[in-house]
Amino acid sequence: MKEPQLSPADIPVSTLSSSNSTGRRAPRFLVIGAGSRGNAYARAVATTTPGVVHAVAEPHDFKRREFGRKYIWGTEGSPREGQEFADWRDWLRWEFERRKKTNGDNDGSGTSQATTPTGVDGVFICTLDDTHVGIIQAIAPLQLHILCEKPLALSLADCLAVYRTLQPPQGTDERPRPPTTIFSIGHVLRYSPHNILLRKLLLSDRIIGDIVALEHTEPVGWWHFSHSYVRGNWRRETPAGDGSLLTKSCHDIDFILWLLCSPASLEGARAAGYQSHFPRSISSAGSLTQFRRARKPVAAGDATNCVSCPAERECSYSAVRIYQDRHLAKGHRTWPVDIVCPDIEDVYQVQGAAAAEEHLLSRLREDYDVRAEADADVAARPWYGRCVYEADNNVCDDQVVMLAWDDEEAAPKRLAKTATFHMIAPTEKQCERRGRVYGTTGEIEYDSSRISIYNFASAETTTIDVPRPPPERAESHGGGDYGLAGQYVKAVDAVMNSGLDVETAQARFIGCTLEEAVQSHAVVFAAEEARREERVLKWKEWWQEKLRSSAAACTG
């Protein structure tokens, strides 16, 4: 399906600005993708911000309508024109036509302005990873504010392509023009109350002096990893050779850079010409250690599917035990069950519990024969009932990344330090990060709810129990989903209704520029290259070479 080819010249000038001269108006947003991430951000917008979820684009009928009932038109209402689309391309065509009508109204050649359908001010992109680049490039001429779920793209080349797409062209003096729209990326760890406090203690309060070293761990969770990275959508490396470090832990790498590279306040620092303190070298080691045929229980024999496996009752990774026994049988019909069966709630409400169980089992029975089916067909969809030891996964389930910094010569003369990140699959905790930071006057230990500070001089330990978000927010990365969505909406609102320029709003509320988001991704790609090639990369030289290659490719 061909997207409309838009350029800024095609779009009426009156629709390029989100400013409102007639008074305050709640920012309106389109959510593209009504899955778990789309729902998380929509829930945050609807419950904690002045913004409005105005429209949804989602191909799955049940998910789209359920999303609309929850956040847009309500249980008793129905969608108005411009609120429901089965495909984001349909919305793009509709929006293009809407703007043409609006332009006609403004010129006095159309119908009444009151009859023109309502559009949106910003977009949440919550689709599968490999679609992000195409969506951003297609909607960029509309000059809407964008929040894109992580990762931004599946290759460094595509990340740089997004940067070129969204970066305003240079002016006549060859200086980059300031941004004209807000851009945010789904690096939610920056926005949880726990991590904001941790960063304040380290950077503003300097509670342990100069940072010497950091150790950070993401325990993915034993069955969570099998769900998403062995059976699910993220089980295979990307064409560029990048895997679970990118799709699962790019926001952990970003979290480390946020603590060790970035200024305490981006807004004040950028005015002073402050530059990020990037590492000198990057290395990594990791492999697929557990989920492979060599570890398959002997009792499982030749079985490739959990439902028919003779060892199913004794296997921790039995799909029946994970999805049915641990979740559906206990009344849990949301994630991960609704990922396996997106319409499970509909089946349960209409046909009852027994039908819902059979519906789930029917999905788990689905399997493939590697001798009879094309690899591309197998790779194109998840297989949630497949034996984890007979799956087609190839991403790391255990990986370590090492970063090292030199002393910085120029002011503010930040000092050398190291950081180690460990992503590990077989853990009790599920995505409850933990770590330790070593400083010149003390050390900090943290987990998802507590921060402990040991002072060398006093030999005393101070423990801070960080208030946990309410239950409805706690599962959203410790409140990070709400924090990210809230800051994005605040930035858009400030530009629309308070007259704040985009560059200041970006620094004040988002705390990260488009350029920094791309560089954060680049560190992940560098770590993966170091792992594959078993070598230590020099960041500055590596990054400059990548930029030169990208520029040459564009020129060519």
Give tens-digit pLDDT for 310-329.
999 999 999 999 999 999 99
Q: Find out whether 385 and 366 touch, Cβ atoms under 8 Å.
A: yes
Specify the residue for token string 């064409």: 239
Q: What is the pLDDT of residue 18?
A: 41
Residue 82 has φ and ψ, to the nearest 5°, of 90, 10
Identity of the residue numbered 189: L
CA atoms of 492 and 383, how far apart (whole Å): 40
Q: Find out whether 277 and 405 touch, Cβ atoms under 8 Å.
A: yes
Q: Is the pLDDT of residue 72 over 80?
A: yes
Question: What is the CATH code for 8-149?
Answer: 3.40.50.720
Token code pair at residue 429:
């905790």
Q: Could you tell me whether strands 84-85 and 52-57 are parallel, antiparallel, or unpaired per DSSP bridges? A: parallel
Q: For 419-445, what is the mean pLDDT?
A: 97
Sign of CA dihedral 550, 552, 553, 555: positive
What stretch of H or E contains 391?
none
Structure confidence by residue, pLDDT tens digits, 113-125: 556 788 999 999 9
Q: Is the pLDDT of residue 252 over 50?
A: yes
Identity of the residue numbered 553: A
∠ CA 399-405-410, nearest 5°, is 155
CA atoms of 15 and 13, how far apart (whole Å): 5
What is residue 239's three-state secondary structure? coil
Token code pair at residue 32:
């593209």
Mean pLDDT over the full length of the chain: 90
Specify the residue for token string 């209402």: 77
Q: For 511-537, what is the mean pLDDT?
A: 96
Residues found in the chain:
556
Of 410 and 397, which is predicted with more confidence?
397
Q: For 76-99, what is the mean pLDDT?
A: 95
Q: Is the pLDDT of residue 106 over 80?
A: no
Q: Is the pLDDT of residue 270 over 80?
A: no
Q: Is the pLDDT of residue 13 over 60?
A: no
Q: What is the pLDDT of residue 84?
A: 97
Q: Angle formed by the axes of helices 36-48 and 61-71, to 10°?
A: 10
What HEC string does 63-128 produce?
HHHHHHHHHCCCCCCCCCCCCEECCHHHHHHHHHHHHHHHHHHHCCCCCCHHHCCCCCCEEEECCC
CA atoms of 301 and 208, how far apart (whole Å): 55
Token code pair at residue 261:
């590279």
CB atoms inside a 10 Å sphere around CB 118: 12
Residue 473 has φ and ψ, to the nearest 5°, of -110, -20
pTM of the model: 0.91
Q: Find out whether 36 and 339 touch, Cβ atoms under 8 Å.
A: yes
Identity of the residue numbered 92: L
- Where do the domains of the chain lie? 8-149, 190-288+397-477+511-555, 293-379
Q: What percent of the chain has pLDDT over 90?
A: 79
Q: What is the pLDDT of residue 175?
A: 67
Of 266 and 403, which is predicted with more confidence?
403
Q: Is the pLDDT of residue 248 over 50?
A: yes
Q: Find out whether 529 and 246 touch, Cβ atoms under 8 Å.
A: no
Specify the residue for token string 């069955």: 223
Residue 244: pLDDT band with limits 50, 70, 90: very high
What does each C-alpha distance from 218 to 180, 291, 423, 509 come to in angstroms?
A: 36, 18, 5, 26
Instruction: Give, as one character, the DSSP assignment of residue 28.
Output: E
Q: For 18-26, what is the mean pLDDT?
A: 64
Token code pair at residue 365:
């029975």
CA atoms of 99 and 105, how far apart (whole Å): 10
Q: What is the pLDDT of residue 9?
A: 45
Residue 3: pLDDT band with limits 50, 70, 90: very low
Q: Angle formed by the axes of helices 250-260 and 514-533, to 10°?
A: 110
Q: Find out whether 441 and 205 touch, Cβ atoms under 8 Å.
A: no
Residue 413, Ramachandran bin (φ over 0: left; ψ between -120 and 50: alpha; else beta): left
Q: For 287-311, what is the mean pLDDT?
A: 96
Q: What is the pLDDT of residue 115?
A: 67
Q: Angle formed by the axes of helices 88-106 and 132-139, to 10°?
A: 10
What does each C-alpha distance from 337 to 183, 222, 281 come to in angstroms?
A: 32, 16, 42
Strand partners, 538: 281
Q: Find out whether 436 and 445 touch, Cβ atoms under 8 Å.
A: yes
CA atoms of 90 and 92, how far apart (whole Å): 5
CA atoms of 145 and 140, how far apart (whole Å): 9
Residue 37, Ramachandran bin (φ over 0: left; ψ between -120 and 50: alpha; else beta): alpha
Q: Find out whether 183 and 506 touch, Cβ atoms under 8 Å.
A: yes
**Among 548, 437, 449, 36, CA closest to 215:** 437
Q: Find out whether 101 and 110 touch, Cβ atoms under 8 Å.
A: yes
CA atoms of 312 and 300, how far apart (whole Å): 8
N- to C-terminal Cα distance for the chain?
28
Is the domain 190-288+397-477+511-555 a CATH 3.30.360.10 member? Answer: yes
Q: For 350-375, what is the mean pLDDT?
A: 96
Beta-sheet strand order (sheet of 442-446): 460-465, 450-455, 442-446, 434-439, 211-219, 417-424, 398-405, 281-287, 537-538
**Among 488, 292, 477, CA closest to 396:** 292
Instruction: Give, as one character, the DSSP assignment of residue 231.
Output: S
Lowest mean pLDDT segment, chosen from 102-111, 305-314, 322-331, 443-452: 102-111
